[in-house]
Amino acid sequence: MRVVVRVSVAVAMAVLAAGCGGSSASPPSSAPPPSSSPPAKGAVVSLTFDDGLERQEQMVKELAERGLTGTFYVHSTRVQAPGYLTQPTLARLAQAGNEIGGHTRTHARLPGLHPDEQRREVCGDRSGLEALGFAPRSFAFPFHEVSAAAEAVVKECGYNSGRGKAGVAAEELTPADPYDLNTPLSIGSRTTLPEVQQYVLAAEQREGWAILVFHDYCDDCGTLGVKPRIFTAFLDWLKGRPVAVRNVGDVIGGGVRPVPPLKPPSVAINGSLENYFGKEGLPDCWQLDGRSATATFGRVDEPRTGRWAGRIKVTDGDPGRLRLAVRQDDGECAPKPGTLSVWYTSTAPVRFTVSRRSAGGTWSGWSEGPVLPAASTWRQATWTPKAAGAAGISFGLVLAGPGQATFDDFALR
């Protein structure tokens, strides 16, 4: 029977809800399935840090001064971005015995995504971390949101564990489900020192595993920023406790498994245009051609579903010049051919635009579909382009005349 120590109501109310929820720098190698390797007895504490935020470098210094290490769950796409840790800094962390783990490419809520999108977020992120010189074994679900299907994808992508649900003070040293490791709530600006200490004491009482979750490090940078005096006082206290402080991957055990190759998706990735992390504020997995003074693109909070929709506006010149389309790549974003679908409103006629990728990886020029009428309310457009022999497809919607069009929920059927 699985035994856990649940956080008391008083502690749970005082601690923040989660906000998002040593790795080797050598190339990964094949290894047997993961096996747990907990200590023979006694409690274990793992210090975990989410998102790869720049201020975590100071937290690393505090750890190093006390001979401690942690597990850092980072996004491969945000390494080097402003406000985030750089690759050289992460490499130094790994060399010092800290673990570098995965956290999806774009901080995605995995349970709500199609399996193809889940694989891109998880496998693509792990591949990206490998390309940066790391060999990640451990994963953390953003926002602590877990489902059986998402767990299966994390395992498929080669991870040995997934840090999951929040609200449990102590996990078992041999977890019943290594792909849904339970944690206390995230430690943030309103967390007191006694509350953090209680998580460790709970693990000591049951000889269990306290997996603590940190994000930012500051006196006043938001609800997920732990106060430096609390953090350092906790580390000093922790050093005197009869517990082992170990990285997540070392507690779970298992070697570095290969990342499976990504298959071309059968859906339009980020088809609802919700995720805009990337250069120039473009939707993730999409590209833009033809932006100019008379042809512009932007996101608007007038969606058909979700939070955002995209809007193109052309006031002069060739209306087909502005093209937002699925990114032309080798299959990470560009899906297999099918029937195209999109919802739109517009002040002028619109039409699909499409490019095809050959089996050899060469993209064709852009061709256009039939003209679709202007629509003052949301209207669905579909088109099945000829794509015999195509390995992948990129598509979007362009104006057929000056005006503006708002679009949402691109899909393949």
253 within 8 A of 160, measured Cβ to Cβ: yes
**What CA–CA distance (Å, rounded) separates 201 from 199?**
6
- For the domain covering 5-252, report its CATH number: 3.20.20.370
In DSSP terms, which residues pair with 295 in a beta bridge?
A: 292, 314
Question: Alpha-carbon Rg of the chain, whole angstroms?
Answer: 24
Residue listed under structure tokens 């087909």: 320
Minimum mean pLDDT among 14-23, 143-152, 159-168, 220-229: which range?
14-23
Tokens of 230: 């609390």
Q: What angle do CA 341, 320, 301 make, to 5 degrees?
A: 55
In DSSP terms, which residues pair with 289 in a beta bridge?
A: 323
9 band by pLDDT with thresholds 50, 70 and 90: very low
Residue 350's region, left for phi above 0, alpha for psi from -120 to 50, else beta, is beta
Helix (H, G, I), strand (E, B) or coil at 156: helix
Residue 20 has pLDDT above 80, yes or no: no
Residue 291 has pLDDT above 90, yes or no: no
* Cα end-to-end span (Å), the chain: 45
Minimum mean pLDDT among 93-102, 287-296, 334-343: which range?
287-296
Q: What digits encode the pLDDT tens for the residues 209-237?
A: 999 999 999 999 999 999 999 999 999 99
Q: What pLDDT shows up at residue 283?
A: 93
Q: What pLDDT shows up at residue 32?
A: 35
Q: What digits encode the pLDDT tens for the residues 331-345?
A: 999 999 999 999 999
Which contacts of 149-155 are long-range, i.e. CB under 8 A and separated by 24 or more positions? 149/111, 149/115, 149/118, 150/110, 150/111, 150/118, 151/177, 151/179, 151/180, 153/110, 153/115, 153/118, 153/119, 153/122, 153/123, 154/122, 154/179, 155/179
Minimum mean pLDDT among 95-109, 264-278, 329-343: which range?
264-278
390 within 8 A of 328, measured Cβ to Cβ: no
29 band by pLDDT with thresholds 50, 70 and 90: very low
pTM of the shown model: 0.85
Secondary structure (DSSP) of 362-409? PBPPPEEEEEE--EEEEEEEEE----TT-SEEEEEEEESSSEEEEEEE
Q: Is the dihedral of CA 268, 270, 272, 278 positive or negative?
A: negative
249 within 8 A of 257, measured Cβ to Cβ: no
Look up residue 350 and give its amino acid.
V
* Percentage of the chain exceeding pLDDT 70: 89
Closest CA to 20 of 47, 44, 52, 45: 52
Look up residue 365 and give its amino acid.
G
279-412 sits in which CATH class? mainly beta
Domain boundaries, the chain: 5-252, 279-412
Q: Determine the average pLDDT of the residues in 125-144.
A: 97
